[in-house]
Amino acid sequence: MYYITKKHLSRRTLLRGFGGAALALPFLDSMLPAATNVSGAASRTRLGFYYVPHGAVMDKWTPATDGTDFAMSPTLRSLEPYRPWLNVISDMGLPLAYTEDGSAAAHHSSSCATYLSGAAMHKNENRLGITIDQLAARKIGQETPLPSLELGIEGSSATCGEGWSCAYRDSLAWSDEHSPLPVERNPQVVFERLFGDGRDGDARAANRQQAASILDGVLEQTSSLQRNLPAADRRRLDQYLTDVREVERRVALAEQQASSDLDLPPTPVGIPADFEDHIKMLFDLQVLAWQTEMTRISTLMVAVEISNAIYPKSGVREAFHPLSHHSNIQANKDKLAQLNAYHVSMFAYLLEKMKSTPDGDGSLLDNSILMWGSGMGDSNVHNHDPVPIVMAGGGSGSIKGNRHIRSGSGKRPLSNLLLTILQKANVNVDKFGDSTGTVDL
């Protein structure tokens, strides 16, 4: 399909309002020069990496059949509507997650540390290796205002084991072997990074006092812009503005609730108490960031290792970490599998949002590569081989879906998949971490 017009809107057009607000725009056909092939002009591939601690009940996670049209497993059932974009990757492990220490604390730390780095931890020092997201940020993240986003749900770990830095389990992203990046939990802060001027807290606070909404602050410019857009772009912009206002409304509500006069423990402003509200808000902000190409790269930690979080909406009342030590009692394993399925259903929420978000000549899901999984397999024995991994997204046409892929005879390092993802995203490297090859995607 070709788009022909005399008008050409800059890809970096911003709607600026008072208080430093700056609203980026989604990808519109009007941003293409005349006679441009829309199908070949899709935004660059977005990369998202998600981490859930404590492994999974692998026989409920792993599909019973291989190849295309595989039999969907019980844990992954909520992902059925996204089968055309889905690849379940089996038989991958983290060989460098096994340490000489051998303690439970070391296994938990290395699960998180090695997941995106393919590197081994070092005792009594803070040293690991660059993670896949940050290598991508070096190569393609410099083309966007924010090279990457590092998001999470829970705060720092209380204890991390003797001699092991808490950074190994508190940070999913490392910019180099000595530099773990902090995780941002607060949707308000993320929102302001995306749509505020980012200069200082006072300026952002003044902006909130002056305007009922960032959208109100740019309303006049928005109306003027819409009058000059073709119908398809007007519809796309209308939907984007609706999404921004809805996220803004939920962020403001969370801020009000966190700032109430109730006698509650101190909570950072803007962090919802409910897990689903929190993660969905972060997902929605991530989608807005990708849609506007404020960034193309993001990580999100669903929980930290040795998390004692309870998820009432899952139907399971036991705390996450104690439940993960199921002692091979079937009733306990069934509850853990139920919790695994609940977490996967949150991923399904993100996929639905991305599937319904236009991007170029397809959807945001078409133009993304997402990896969801854990650095531990059987949590009862703290093993790292195999680990549960599912991928979603079309990689801008470079990845087929609807497959259960086994990595081959023997256990292969997860770094093989990470290397493949980098290459699919046009980050040209021949090796990553402890990789020994690639995966056929």
Q: What is the pLDDT of residues 195-247, one digit of tens each?
A: 764 445 555 455 444 444 556 656 666 766 777 777 777 777 777 777 677 76
Quote the tokens at residue 439.
Answer: 């995966």
Q: What angle do CA 62, 322, 273 make, to 5 degrees?
A: 95
Q: What is the DSSP letter of 26?
A: -
**Region class of 408: left (phi > 0), else alpha (psi between -120 and 50), else beta:** left
Burial of 409 (0-12, 13-18, 19+ CB in 10 A): exposed
Backbone angles phi, psi at 133, to 5 degrees: -65, -40
Distance (Å, whole) CA 97 – CA 91: 15
Q: Give percent above pLDDT 70 in the chain.
A: 79
Report the candidate in 228, 222, 257, 227 with the shortest Cα–Cα distance to residue 242: 222
Domain boundaries, the chain: 1-41+191-270, 45-185+275-441
Range with the poorest average pLDDT among 17-31, 84-98, 274-288, 342-356: 17-31
pLDDT above 50 for 22: yes
Contact 230, 5 (CB under 8 A): yes
Contact 284, 243 (CB under 8 A): yes
Q: Report residue 5's pLDDT band, with 50, 70 and 90 as the boundaries.
A: very low
pLDDT above 90 for 266: no
Instruction: Tell me what pLDDT residue 253 has.
Output: 61
**Residue linked to tokens 């490392």:** 174
Q: Report residue 2's pLDDT band, with 50, 70 and 90 as the boundaries.
A: very low
CATH T-level assignment (fold) for domain 45-185+275-441: Alkaline Phosphatase, subunit A (3.40.720)
Burial of 22 (0-12, 13-18, 19+ CB in 10 A): middle
